Structure 1
């Protein structure tokens, strides 16, 4: 959003128009825009209001009802932390005894909102002037939070009375491309890590693809998923690393449930066993896989890998676990297009869920080649078993056999 659009939205007329808009509907947006212009509203204001209405609707998935009172930029919303995850961040600082947090890359203020909501005092610093203005508006209901436009690394943490630091460095270029080199983050990762020498209670939110070899030895590294979607890697230091250095996976659900799996159990030392596919197949959560904790899942379900390099676990019996989705194995066969097509047609399969791991097959292309016809549904898993491409016919546990 440019400054002129923001100024128009923040005017009494602009705020009233935004508040009066109906729930956003992409199909009706053009018609609504034309009607508002005919009613005499400034075209620039109409465009800005409809853009915010669209972004608010999109933000509902991350921020729930709080989104209805906030303003966004597309890039800011993309990087904003989901509220359920931000609440976990805030809980760490409160548990560690922190009283004032400096959020050095506050963006639109999602994390700062969670911090302030728990009673923490917050200094939210944002380098982009427009984004800082939006963060100020978004945090207007939280007197515990102060927003400052500037360079987060230039803040005198000691003078500000800060005893906890948080940062979510930008990992995209101005053109939207992903940045994979930590030295090219904004701010650079090494500069942020150096802050723990001044304030030991340091927390960083990074992308989940950071390799294990690049992780500081003194960090508690926690990969987080929400309803199966891996959303971040959190690095926690000092008193924020309540369980000490190591790797962990945190699984959060929309229903408020959570589960944590940590590395280091004696039963999971070394590589998990590998063996043939049995009665049940387990697909570990993405956060578990990113954290390198598939061996822990294999131990929990008394299972083994179907292939040394594939994160599928098989077991002779059903062992419910929050860390993996369980499937009942109905059939298996070596992968072959003609054989699979014949198999599915014999069973009149018209709707097919295709899961894959360790294969170059493109599911949508395969679905077209299978030319499905029928009224029944099925789920198949394309993967390697003992180094060979196989098809496993499965059904999620809980459905009828």
Structure 2
């Protein structure tokens, strides 16, 4: 069975009518796959990568004259690598997918964890030098999911790939190592509202005015994060659920079921979506991010909880939707401050305002995740409009992370995250078997 359906195989809209992938989306998708392949190192930007980081994807394409170039030109975020591997798999670019997943497996630490991002031009972070490095549970879960997704997708054509092919065996072993790391982050059962959920990782970097400092600074802290993220736990649920299906191991399936049940407790009826999570002090983190509505809707559709999922779609439009000239998309937050520190917000917005809802910003990555939610709802017309609108953010086949920069938060450079999500959403819209497999029921 072919993983990539021919153009005549179309997703179905809610009313049963075909949801054609338009020629413009096909061109965008083809260009996106080629752009992703060019981001793999070695390439002209990093011609001689550190050996263990060979075949990772550079997260952004940054002009050399940009002030940020020297800091991020060689950076590869593990979430971006996971998305890229999924996109290559959907496009049946197995060679690139295997190169990339092989690089991820080389980086899995002894405890099964992964750093959030890696330099490709040198060996930071490493076990001997990781000052300033962070770990995020959601990003680690995405790496495990990418490995599991690849094994499931290849099984559509070669049922024994994961059990007999040496590469399949390697990928499964790395996925299980990652799963063990995730399960070690689980809050024990009990009265704690975070019980059975996974904590957020370690390390943080906060923009603030430090005591005695002349101005604004990034302040790093290497401590463990006891905060629990809704998004991270949705990521982990899909990974552990599918790993359980792949391996037949009840420990993964059971953990996934407990996470699923606890994520449902983070639903806010008055807001029509999931909240951001639970703080370390056990109080609700009531911020309302787009991902907790868009990815939340997909999570709910996976459980046939249609009424709640439809509420998420409604608030996507009422809380996050934005139009900027010909662009249609979504902001990452609604009426929350752009910077949580009031002094920092006043520094960047001295005339007042400073809410996400004030910014004429289209978040391309998040908008494509919203399109994926509409596809899962069968509302393919809305999804197609969102995808086609992102053409305004295309640069040489890649897609900008956002339509405008927000210092220390959002870049407007072409990014792996946005570009890979374009491929994923297009495959979901097309109705290919590989698209249906992604974050499915």
Say yes or no: TM over 0.5: no
Greater RCO (Cα-Cα under 8 Å, separation 6 or more): 2
Considering fraction of residues, name the structure with more helix: 2
Which category of TM-score, normalised to the shorter sequence, fits these structures? under 0.3
Q: Return the TM-score normalized by structure 1.
A: 0.24
Q: Indicate the structure (1 or 2) with the bigger Cα radius of gyration.
A: 1
